[in-house]
Structure 1
Amino acid sequence: MSRRQRAASLAQGLLVGMTLGYTAYRAVTLAVNARRFPRLDRPHAPLRQRPRVSLLTPARDEAHNVPKLLQGLLSQGADEVILLDDNSSDGTGDLARDLCRGVPGARVISGAPLPDGWSGKNWACQQLSQAASGEVLIFVDADVEWHAGALDAVLAELERSGADLLSCWPRQDVGSAGERLITPYIDLYLLTLLPYPAMRLPLVATATAVGQVMVFRRSSYDAVGGHQLVQGDVLEDVLFAKRLKARGYRVLGALGGERIGVRMYQDYASSVNGYAKSWLPVHGNSRLLLSVALAGQFCVYTLPWMLDFPGARLLRVTGLLERSAVAWTAGRRRPADLAEGLLGPIGPLLQLPVYHKAIRRKVKWKGRVYEQ
């Protein structure tokens, strides 16, 4: 065997070894999270003392989501429910006011103009916090649906964990074939990359969050200046978690299960746009890392079906099973949910438009343009 052949063989072996090792790590992490990750639909101890709670929602052109959102929030028994209408053009504010009329503690406020240096959602959340009076501030995205007992479960987990920020990860309620193609990937990344016990370590790298439901102790939130901590960031949830943890605060998570659900996007196109707006920040604003991540996706999921090499058959099996196992762990157990594993081999191809949009210098979201 020539020197060139030996080098090629060594490189192939190294690539295969790294791919198999990465796959094994994700499988072990998912198994750990299936057992250890807190779930809001599990039994919990009664609260020792119920704090004053504010449920807060920033809403911009969310008329299609507001009825389901407010039906869930207003039934939780919170001390106050406040929705901020962020200059909507579809009647979001008027619809929300009609639904809140006559409900004690429920109100709608109008957002102030967006200042320089702020992203839209972060500015809306900052205004909501200034209008709220709760000891616990719970920021809820407009596409999230709360079911019976959700607030009690959230407060019980906040008390049990001692977290300063508890991020609740809603169950993905997928309603169409198009959104099923890539929307549920959020669960795959959350549940296979970071084992829950690592979140308890005093390391900034192990802090993460999902902005759909962010539960803060008011004292901790105010101590860091609220959303001013991430005022111009598109990836505000993850960065808030990391910056909060860097200051010595405790950041933890919980799965929404049957208590809290979300329908993030309505079809494939909106899924692509939604992921693309934050995909570059997720990769540290590095276009090189973004490209490497995409190449890695092909090596793990697609290449084993194109080439036969040591470990390829194992990778084919794990690639088919992974999304199904993640769906089960996240509480998505309908036959259509579990069948998502069959999409594994073409997953990187389905995500190509996300990476293509994410690599651009500017992203557009909710009618606003953000520089990356």
Structure 2
Amino acid sequence: MLSGLAIALLLIQIPATCLLLSRLSKGPGRRLPVEPQTITSPGLGTVSVVVPTLNERERLTPCLVGLTHQSNEVREIIVVDSRSTDGTPELVKNAQEQDPRFKLITDDPLPPGWIGRPWALHNGYLQSSPESKWILGIDADTQPMPGLVAGLIQTAEKEEFDLVSLSPQFILKYPGEWWLQPALLITLVYRFGPTGIESQTAERVMANGQCFLCRRDVLTKLDGYKSAKGSFCDDVTLARYAAACGFKVGFLDGAKVLKVRMYEGAWQTWNEWGRSLDLKDASSQGQLWSDLWLLLSTQGLPLPTALIFLTCWGWGISSPFITAVAGLNLLLLSIRFALVLAIAPSYDRTQSSPTASWLFWLSPLADPLAVLRIFLSAIQRPTQWRGRTY
């Protein structure tokens, strides 16, 4: 019976492992992280920044301060508020007194078929200056570092990207999130490979709306954010639509220029981030279930499978197939622990106690839970998001 189970696992896991290794093997050739830069004079006033907000007062200040420190390549900073009731507009007005580039607008009531975030971004794009060459979407929970916009623009111009987004450096504070969040992040690495690589097809394109730069003329050709209006992962939906239309799309490492404090604790991370990580709104059913098979085979199963078959081995229950499946899953676990070292620069340890952050190194033990969260998200559609009910 155990040999039969071992054969079944080998048939499921070997193809998935080969696919995973083919994706991870592209890592050494990936583009270097974006570096902070100072812009040269031709870049002055070429960027309109759009920040969507809805009751973000508690975490908006670092974002506003970071944007203030961007140099003159930023023409305007448009904060699109969706009728916040927590004092967010007053916070933006205070920032406007210090930096006249800030502009506060209120978007119209949400039309049928739209999700709040793409609607706010679409309104910001429509209200932006036609003189700006680039539109940069920035989330309220980000902390832009000095030189972010200049470095991103220089990279986009050099690489001739039409649309490019960045992965940030994450700020974690509590033990539970240090254990769970890296496991959830790895589900993206397993499905789409490391940041900075070339995507072979539009359906494998990855993006991050926390820092999302697009040429204005390209966004006009895409009809703004309408292609992603009903998507809970509007960043990936829009990026894949742009790639399918023939535009060059990039997803780069931005850990040196952008930080983000997304959620407070493990429960918020599980509940909020986990709801959109399946990317079902940007994927076909075939792609979605193919990705779930890959995650189950290479991230969800290795830990329990290795423990079960090594225990059987210790009890003297052995066969060539049992040995093979135990070895394969030990290999997958060793890859996973090696990736902990690879993603370590994506985390800021300066704002957390050592007693909490050490759990980062044990995050592979949360992999079965992370994969379970992706499965649950794949079969459910959110009914609430960022204070709105849909």
TM-score category (smaller protein): 0.7 to 0.9
Residue 170 of structure 1 corresponds to which residue in structure 2?
Answer: 168
2:304 aligned with 1:302 = yes
**Unmatched 5+ residue regions in structure 1?**
none
Residue 179 of structure 1 corresponds to which residue in structure 2?
Answer: 177
Query: Cα offset for 1:353?
Result: 4.8
Report the secondary structure of 1:66's partner residue: helix
CA distance in 2 between partners of 1:225 and 1:318 (Å): 42
Report the secondary structure of 1:184's partner residue: helix
CA distance in 1 between partners of 2:3 and 2:185 (Å): 40
Residue 21 of structure 2 corresponds to which residue in structure 1?
Answer: 24
Are residues 301 and 5 of structure 1, via their aligned partners in 2, closer, same or farther at CA, if it must alter by over 3 Å? Answer: closer
CA distance in 2 between partners of 1:88 and 1:342 (Å): 39
Are residues 276 and 218 of structure 1, via their aligned partners in 2, closer, same or farther at CA, if it must alter by over 3 Å? Answer: same
Which of 364, 367, 371 does residue 387 from structure 2 map onto?
A: 367
CA distance in 2 between partners of 1:140 and 1:190 (Å): 21
Matches within 5 A, 1:1-372: 10-18=7-15, 20-29=17-26, 31-32=27-28, 35-41=29-35, 47=40, 49-50=42-43, 52-77=46-71, 78-133=74-129, 134-185=132-183, 187-192=185-190, 193-194=192-193, 199=198, 201=200, 203-282=201-280, 284=283, 286=285, 292=293, 295-296=296-297, 297-308=299-310, 309-310=323-324, 311=327, 312-328=329-345, 330=346, 340-350=360-370, 352-353=372-373, 355-356=375-376, 358-370=378-390
Report the secondary structure of 2:165's partner residue: strand
Aligned-residue Cα RMSD (Å) equals 3.0
CA distance in 2 between partners of 1:350 and 1:361 (Å): 18
Query: Cα offset for 1:119?
Result: 0.6
Are residues 123 and 162 of structure 1, via their aligned partners in 2, closer, same or farther at CA, if it must alter by over 3 Å? Answer: same
Are residues 149 and 281 of structure 1, via their aligned partners in 2, closer, same or farther at CA, if it must alter by over 3 Å? Answer: closer
Higher relative contact order by CA 8 Å / sep ≥ 6: 1 or 2?
2
CA distance in 1 between partners of 2:368 and 2:3 (Å): 30
Report the secondary structure of 2:301's partner residue: helix
**Unmatched 5+ residue regions in structure 2?**
311-322
Are residues 332 and 243 of structure 1, via their aligned partners in 2, closer, same or farther at CA, if it must alter by over 3 Å? Answer: same
CA distance in 1 between partners of 2:387 and 2:143 (Å): 24
Query: Cα offset for 1:274?
Result: 1.8
CA distance in 2 between partners of 1:223 and 1:27 (Å): 34
CA contact under 8 A between 2:95 and 2:102: conserved in structure 1?
Answer: no
Residue type at the aligned position of 2:25: V
Q: Which deviations, in whole Å up to 9, do the C-alpha atoms of 1:214-255 show, x marking residues without a partner?
A: 101101011110111211111111111111111111101221
Q: Greater shift after overlay, 342-351 or 219-228?
A: 342-351
CA contact under 8 A between 2:175 and 2:357: conserved in structure 1?
Answer: no
Are residues 274 and 358 of structure 1, via their aligned partners in 2, closer, same or farther at CA, if it must alter by over 3 Å? Answer: farther
CA distance in 2 between partners of 1:197 and 1:367 (Å): 33
Are residues 46 and 326 of structure 1, via their aligned partners in 2, closer, same or farther at CA, if it must alter by over 3 Å? Answer: same
Output the TM-score relative to the length of structure 2: 0.82
CA distance in 1 between partners of 2:118 and 2:98 (Å): 29
Residue 320 of structure 2 corresponds to which residue in structure 1?
Answer: none
Are residues 74 and 323 of structure 1, via their aligned partners in 2, closer, same or farther at CA, if it must alter by over 3 Å? Answer: same
Residue type at the aligned position of 2:338: L
Q: Which deviations, in whole Å up to 9, do the C-alpha atoms of 1:280-336 show, x marking residues without a partner?
A: 4348374866764563332234322332342133233223332232224x3657777
Are residues 39 and 293 of structure 1, via their aligned partners in 2, closer, same or farther at CA, if it must alter by over 3 Å? Answer: same
CA contact under 8 A between 1:301 and 1:319: conserved in structure 2?
Answer: no
Q: Which deviations, in whole Å up to 9, do the C-alpha atoms of 1:164-190 show, x marking residues without a partner?
A: 101111111212222223323464344
Q: Which runs of 4+ in 1 moved over 6 A?
A: 4-7, 333-336
CA contact under 8 A between 2:47 and 2:136: conserved in structure 1?
Answer: yes
Report the secondary structure of 2:25's partner residue: helix
Query: Cα offset for 1:267?
Result: 1.0
